[in-house]
């Protein structure tokens, strides 16, 4: 199943426009208002991803060009954090294609999807129960921390524009930015992204393209914080003007709104597919099983007198393998006269990861705990590949070999 590419592109256009709006509003929500709102956003993310059992979020966005609606979208997401379930219903309306609806259900054992163009539900069975995360706190990611520093650097001297009102235990942040108040840097970034990214996308052919004299005419935002210090709803908008290649001016109006409801009262249930057309697939995870138990080897070679000489062997022994969890041993043997100062040898355990790899843990000769990656390889997955050193990141990992001569490919040995 494939989702409509044009809808994805128009969604990317909206996202780009949101960046313009958010950047502009970051310049006006300053001082105590700026810091309070940032703290509220962080608290909201932390509570929703860690402290509540469930909640519902709704986001809508619209793009109006020269008074005509080119794109509208509404996304309803229901999160059951306690039971690790999600339902997402994505509705979009484009000028030339009408309304489209896509459906997604997700839990730790399966994904169920249905898009607007088909009458079939696709059920993909997965094995993702270990450390399965339905939603992550974006403020804990390294990218978000870097982005926060950039936004803080944009803060200027427009301290009197933000308005903070408190009533009935709620706090409302509002800000309005006029054309003369938009910083030059914001307009420069807006122009650059529109001209060289979004407008150059061939799938945006139906959108009037502005190329010159692009600037943010105005921007506004309103965010409501409830009695518990959580963002309840918000809306932001921006008007962007520019000239096309024929020097005709076009006006883009972008509006995005969202709300969070149903905290600890939202129910998510797996859809009943009785009587529906269903296709089942099983995720092809690169996990080890009993068929992988055995020996794997490759040659250790060196170049002498313009020829390659075998001086030893590397061996991996998979001792146990069940549901992707393995135990085993790695060791090296050398011919007489070629034994190095350090001959590597270690026992390891391994477990599947969200990246569809098997992460192994072992202790090296210095007593240091390390991680590596072991994956099945070959046309029939009968061989394996070993990377002995990795660094874990927020998302995924980075391979860091200290031995440039290490051969990662191992061939199955059949007795």
pLDDT in tens, 43-71: 999 999 989 999 999 999 988 989 988 88
* Of 228 and 401, more confident: 228
pLDDT band (50, 70, 90) for residue 25: very low
Q: Are residues 300 and 259 in the same domain?
A: no
In a shared domain, residues 262 and 143: yes
What is residue 170's predicted lDDT score, i.e. its pLDDT? 92
Question: Span 147-161, mean pLDDT?
Answer: 62
Domain that holds residue 13: 5-282
- Per 3-state DSSP, the chain is made up of helix, strand and coil in percentages (nearest 5) of 20, 45, 35
Q: Please, what's the b/e burial string for 77-107 (b: 16 or more CB within 10 A of its CB; e: otherwise)? A: bbbbbeebbbbbebebbbeeeeebebeebbb
- Residues 340, 300: Cα–Cα separation, whole Å: 12
What is the b/e burial string over 42-76, where b = at least 16 CB atoms within 10 angstroms of the residue's CB? Answer: bbbbebbbeebebbbbbebbbbbbeeeebbbbbbe
Token pair belonging to 216: 């943010």
The Cα–Cα gap between 359 and 199 comes to 42
279-288 mean pLDDT: 75
Q: Give the C-alpha separation, 401 to 392, whole Å.
A: 14
Average pLDDT, the chain: 82
Domain boundary among 241, 259, 282: 282
Same domain, 277 and 294: no
**What is the value of pTM for the model shown?**
0.64
The whole-number pLDDT of residue 401 equals: 66
Look at the chain and report how many structural domains it folds into.
2
Report d(CA 365, CA 358) in Å as an integer: 22
Q: For residues 29 and 144, state if they share a domain.
A: yes
* 5-28 vs 184-193: helix crossing angle, rounded to 10: 170
Same domain flag for 174 and 205: yes
pLDDT digits (tens, 9 = 90+) for 325-375: 999 999 999 999 999 988 999 999 999 886 778 999 999 888 889 999 999
Q: Any idea what the CATH number is for the domain that residue 391 is in?
A: 2.40.128
- Contacting residues for 324 by C-beta, under 8 A, at least 6 apart: 127, 285, 287, 288, 289, 351, 352, 358
Domain check: are 65 and 132 in the same one?
yes
> Are residues 304 and 194 both part of a single domain?
no
N- to C-terminal Cα separation, the chain: 44
Co-location of 238 and 102 in the same domain: yes
Among the candidates 282, 305, 322, a domain finishes at 282
286 or 382: which leads in pLDDT:
382
């Amino acid at each position: 199943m494939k989702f409509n590419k044009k809808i994805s592109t128009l969604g990317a256009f909206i996202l780009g426009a949101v960046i313009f709006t958010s950047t502009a509003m970051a310049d006006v929500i300053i001082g105590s208002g700026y810091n309070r709102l940032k703290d509220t956003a962080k608290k909201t993310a932390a509570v929703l991803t860690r402290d509540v059992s469930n909640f519902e979020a709704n986001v809508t966005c619209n793009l109006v060009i020269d008074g005509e609606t080119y794109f509208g979208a509404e996304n309803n997401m229901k999160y059951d954090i306690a039971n690790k379930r999600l339902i997402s219903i994505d509705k979009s309306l484009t000028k030339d294609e009408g309304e489209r609806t896509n459906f997604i259900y997700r839990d730790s054992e399966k994904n169920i999807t249905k898009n607007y163009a088909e009458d079939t539900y696709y059920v993909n069975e997965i094995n993702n129960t270990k450390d399965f995360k339905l939603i992550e706190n974006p403020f804990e990611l390294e990218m978000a921390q870097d982005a926060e520093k950039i936004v803080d650097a944009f803060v200027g001297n427009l301290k009197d524009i933000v308005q903070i009102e408190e009533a009935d235990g709620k706090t409302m942040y509002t800000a309005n930015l006029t054309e003369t108040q938009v910083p030059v840097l914001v307009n420069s970034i807006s122009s650059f992204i529109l001209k060289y990214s979004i407008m150059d996308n061939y799938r945006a052919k139906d959108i009037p393209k502005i190329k010159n004299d692009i600037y943010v005419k105005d921007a506004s935002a309103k965010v409501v914080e409830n009695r518990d210090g959580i963002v309840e709803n918000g809306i932001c908008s921006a008007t962007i003007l520019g000239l096309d290649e024929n020097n005709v001016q076009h006006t883009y109006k972008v509006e995005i709104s969202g709300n969070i409801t149903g905290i600890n009262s939202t129910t998510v249930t797996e859809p009943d597919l009785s009587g529906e057309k269903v296709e089942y697939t099983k995720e092809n995870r690169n996990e080890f099983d009993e068929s992988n138990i055995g020996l794997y080897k490759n040659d250790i070679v060196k170049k002498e007198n313009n020829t390659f000489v075998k001086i030893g062997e590397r061996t991996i022994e998979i001792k146990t393998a069940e549901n992707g969890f393995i135990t085993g041993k790695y060791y090296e043997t050398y011919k007489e006269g070629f034994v190095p100062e350090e001959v590597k040898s270690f026992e390891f355990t391994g477990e599947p990861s969200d990246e569809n790899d098997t992460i192994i843990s072992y202790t090296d000769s210095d007593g240091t705990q390390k991680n590596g990656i072991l994956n099945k390889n070959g046309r029939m997955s009968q061989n394996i590949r070993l990377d002995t050193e990795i660094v874990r990141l927020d998302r995924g990992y980075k391979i860091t070999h200290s031995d440039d001569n290490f051969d990662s490919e191992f061939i199955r040995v059949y007795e």
